[in-house]
Amino acid sequence: MDHNAFTIKIDKDLEDLIPRYLENRRRDIELIQEAMGKSDFETIRVLGHSMKGSGGGYGFDAITEIGKLIEESTKKMDTEEISRQIEALSEYLDNINIVYE
């Protein structure tokens, strides 16, 4: 994992929390996909909103950004954009390289 673009510096204090946080995001992806199958945009919106509210706090500004876009897309019921953002999130989670300091 030498993708510099995905190298994130995180406060050492948060080290214990990070794996669980990222695991929750992977679960979010599944939940969103599931909700899309049922056209349950409200669930997607809440998940996006919560990503928006938490990502930057941990140091993952990208997750906040993705969450924001997902939340906005649900208002327009833009499933295409939602899928794109899930993909972006998935790629981000796969390639992220965390440095604690």
Q: Which residues bind another protein (CB under 8 A)?
A: 11, 13-14, 16-17, 20-21, 24, 46, 49-50, 52-58, 64
Q: Which amino acid is at 57?
A: G
- Min dist CB 25 to another protein, Å, is 9
- Between 60 and 86, whose beta carbon lies closer to another protein? 60
* CA–CA separation, 14 and 58 (whole Å): 7
- Min dist CB 89 to another protein, Å, is 14
* CA–CA separation, 57 and 60 (whole Å): 7
- Between 65 and 82, whose beta carbon lies closer to another protein? 65
Reading the block at residue 26, the tokens are 């992977």
- Min dist CB 56 to another protein, Å, is 3
* CA–CA separation, 32 and 27 (whole Å): 9
